[in-house]
Amino acid sequence: MWIEINRDSQLTLERQIYTQIRQKILNGMLPSGYKLPSTRKLSSELAVSRNTIIETYSQLAAEGYLKTIKGSGTVVADELHALDLIPSVNNSTTAKQNKMQRPADIIDFRTGLPALEYFPHKLWGNIYREVCNRIEPSSFGYCKTFGVQELQEAIAKYLYRTRGLSCTPRQIVITSGATQGLSLISQILKAKDNIVLIEEPTHSGLRKVITSTGCMIEGVPVDDNGICIDFMRDKKNVSFVYTTPSHQYPMGGVLPIRRRLELIRFAEQNNCYIVEDDYDGEFRYEGPPISSLYELNPQRVIYLGSFSKILAPALRLGFMILPDKLLLPCKKLKMYSDVHTDVLGQYTLAQFIQEGYFEKHIWKMKKLYGRRRKLLLNELSCHFPGQFAILGHATGLHLVVKFHDLLFTEEIDKALLEKGVRIYRPSNYYLEKNTEHDDEIMLGYSHLSDEKIIKGIGTISDFLISNKCGILF
């Protein structure tokens, strides 16, 4: 049976045995009809009480993994197909890995995560309590599907004041983050035999959001200036184009006005829409935020916004601005999706924006992220002088580093992780495996302390030098 017992584990003996037997059944190591040792025999082999084995077998039988045949003992149930879903259990290995690298110990250069320790917890909590005290009792019931009017108005005024983006509050749909907004749009615009054009590379999670609704996707290459319109000209039957024009994810390009006009013209000629995801446009370190694509044609562009990168993902608050034609179908779909987004959170955010705290927070975080970005660049220059280039514009919460004489591989990624540093590569964000960008890595810095940035880059440098990976040699 190859069952290992770890008496120092926090798991009970029964749970350890149960988990390992279930694992072996799911992985096909114990096929249908396989006869398990008797409870007496297994308890003796494992030096545990027979009651422990009886309880384990009973639990597995109750869940359908095992069955008892009179006169034949306990066997694995029929019609169980092996699944390669659950990682094999090895108590000693797992304990060793956990000891070697706990999540808190890893310097994770992931992208898109704000500095959560700077979230205004106390202020947010105070406003939340004020909201609960001042709003009418009826506000604790079901609210309008598109959101609280106070928040819709606050967002509309903020966008006009800071981005010059003009829309009416009724066009603003409050969502549970940009993910829900993209999902709703994909469902509304999905049509048989139509395709969705997405930037290549793009965020794999949002790509899966689109395909999960049944939409077919095709990639469009990007360069230093964002999505390449020339590769779209012969595309037909397009539902919408998904783009991040203010700061292409992950490569960082900003879509110039000529391409913006060409993209709008493509949407008009093909009677399709453009979904503009402005996921971190507020954090631009050279000049004011980039103007939105939405301004060029409000009836062809759907604007997605989120507060996850600015405030905190846990709030699950975002919004989208819809053309008039899509308001009614979206309202019907969202009604049956979640009725409405969290009401108290909406009132709190509305007041947070109205009283000026939102813009103050953005300014504070912009200064912090700008300083961390500068520190990261300094560390790269110190460890890799003249041996890299930074791609994209000085915007957002991450940067892309292109090395002149180094190709990253999965082996290097894994080895660095064992050293306590996790990195990410743009080459993994393509629809199909792409090795052209294996000389590039993505480094998110917004959530990392100065100490972690310094230590992280130092660890990467020390590893590459000690293993003679091509750079510096």
Give residue-wise pLDDT tens across range 7-19.
888 888 898 999 8
Given a cut of 60, whether residue 95 has pLDDT beyond it is no
Over range 137-163, report the average pLDDT: 92
Q: What is residue 337's predicted lDDT score, i.e. its pLDDT?
A: 86
Q: What is residue 472's predicted lDDT score, i.e. its pLDDT?
A: 47
Residues 37 and 184 in one domain: no
Over range 114-120, report the average pLDDT: 95
CA atoms of 317 and 342, how far apart (whole Å): 8
Please give the sequence-ordered ranges of beta strands (E in DSSP) within 179-258, or none if there are none.
195-200, 216-223, 226-227, 238-243
Residue 8 lies in a domain: no
82-86, 137-141, 265-269 — which one is most confidently predicted on average? 265-269
Q: Tell me the pLDDT band of 424, cut-offs 50, 70 and 90.
A: very high
Structural domain ending residue among the three candidates 356, 375, 391: 356
CA atoms of 382 and 370, how far apart (whole Å): 18
The half-sphere exposure of 259 on its side-chain side, counting CA atoms within 13 A, is 19
The domain that contains 420 carries what CATH number? 3.90.1150.10
Over range 159-177, report the average pLDDT: 92
CA atoms of 125 and 131, how far apart (whole Å): 10
What is the count of structural domains for the chain?
Answer: 3
Residues 342 and 384 in one domain: no
Residues 250 and 346 in one domain: yes
Neighbouring residues of 127: CB distance < 8 A, sequence distance ≥ 6? 348, 351, 352
Q: Who wins on pLDDT, 127 or 10?
A: 127
Residue 225 lies in a domain: yes
Given a cut of 60, whether residue 89 has pLDDT beyond it is no
Neighbouring residues of 286: CB distance < 8 A, sequence distance ≥ 6? 393, 394, 395
Q: What is residue 96's predicted lDDT score, i.e. its pLDDT?
A: 45
Structure tokens at 12: 């009970």
Over range 38-63, report the average pLDDT: 89
Residues 245 and 125 in one domain: yes
Q: Where are the alpha helices (DSSP H) in 166-256?
A: 178-189, 204-212
Q: What is residue 94's predicted lDDT score, i.e. its pLDDT?
A: 42
Given a cut of 70, whether residue 87 has pLDDT beyond it is no
Structural domain ending residue among the three candidates 327, 356, 385: 356
Q: Tell me the pLDDT band of 99, cut-offs 50, 70 and 90.
A: very low
CA atoms of 40 and 42, how far apart (whole Å): 6
Given a cut of 90, whether residue 186 has pLDDT beyond it is yes
Given a cut of 50, whether residue 76 has pLDDT beyond it is yes
Q: What is residue 81's predicted lDDT score, i.e. its pLDDT?
A: 62
Q: What is the DSSP string of 113-153?
A: ---GGGS-HHHHHHHHHHHHHHS-GGGGS---TT--HHHHH
Q: What is the DSSP string of 383-440?
A: HSTTSEEEES-SBSSEEEEEESS----HHHHHHHHHTTEE-B-GGGGSSS---TTTTE
Candidates 362, 217, 315; CA nearest to 275 is 217
Structure tokens at 173: 């749909």
